[in-house]
Amino acid sequence: MKQIIVAIDGFSSCGKSTMAKQLAHEVGYIYVDTGAMYRAVSLFCYRNGWMNDESMDIYSIEKNIENIQLEFRINKNGTAEIFLNGENVEKEIRTLEISNGASRVSTIGAVRKELVRQQQKMGINKGIVMDGRDIGTVVFPKAELKIFLTATPEIRAQRRMDELLAKGEKVIYKDVLANVKERDERDQNRKESPLLQAEDAVVIDNSELTIEQQQILLRKLFDQRIGIA
């Protein structure tokens, strides 16, 4: 089977990882959640005191970014989990605080440069589904299939809240919606690689789609790109 790169970009909490993970599983590709990489950097910065809810020490972050080793390992359920300098941090990076921090560290040029370098290395042999904000525009501008996924902020906030509640976090809808909007604003307006739709991306608004409908659509596009549809 022809090996391609599938780049899935879009706003936070619109289901990019569900979509990417399922496709990768179906077609036997590697799945890379680049948001998890920015989240792990955020966690590392919080732990070292280079970041708190109000400010960040950009100088220290830039100086230490090359000491952050990120790696994905597959667990016994077949799911990729992120390791930060050898430690599994998959659970710790999923809180509201760390996700907000991820959006802030992702505005730093040196952080983006290092993570993009690591991501490009992961895709060297193709056969990869990668999701994020700049995959089709910066990381793999020549990706054979680019998707730009979107849904309304209200629907994304509801989905995010359900996820957090299921994990036992105490959150209220108003805060989650504000967080979604704040991250959208920052992701779209930062100077370094803002969230942009690649010209050749296929736009999918999944506000009114079930996961099954979305997956059928994606698989059709994938089959076309590898030349079997």
In the complex with ligand DC, which residue's Cβ is closer, 22 or 34?
Answer: 34
Is residue 99 part of the contact set for ligand DC (CB under 6 A)?
yes
Do residues 6 and 205 make contact, with C-beta atoms less than 8 angstroms apart? no
Output the CA–CA distances (angstroms, integers) from residue 31 to 64, 118, 220, in the order listed: 27, 14, 18
Binding residues for ligand DC restricted to 41-70, rule: CB under 6 A = none
Interface residue with ligand DC among 7, 14, 23, 133 (CB under 6 A) is: 133
Burial (CB < 10 A; 0-12, 13-18, 19+), residue 158, is middle
In the complex with ligand DC, which residue's Cβ is closer, 29 or 140?
Answer: 140
Interface residue with ligand DC among 106, 179, 206, 214 (CB under 6 A) is: 106
In the complex with ligand DC, which residue's Cβ is closer, 18 or 64?
Answer: 18
Is residue 22 part of the contact set for ligand DC (CB under 6 A)?
no
Nearby residues of 39 by Cβ (< 8 Å), 6 or more positions away: 82, 93, 94, 98, 99, 101, 102
Is residue 136 part of the contact set for ligand DC (CB under 6 A)?
no
Output the CA torsion 37→38→44→47 (10° steps): -130
Binding residues for ligand DC restricted to 172-211, rule: CB under 6 A = 183, 187
Per CB under 6 A, the segment of 21-29, 72-80, 100-108, 162-170 that binds ligand DC is 100-108
**Site size with ligand DC, rule: CB under 6 A:** 14
Sheet holding 145-150, edge to edge: 30-33, 128-132, 5-10, 145-150, 202-205
Q: How many CB atoms lie within 10 A of CB 53?
A: 9
Which residues contact ligand DC by CB under 6 A? 12, 34-35, 38-39, 99, 102-103, 106, 132-134, 183, 187
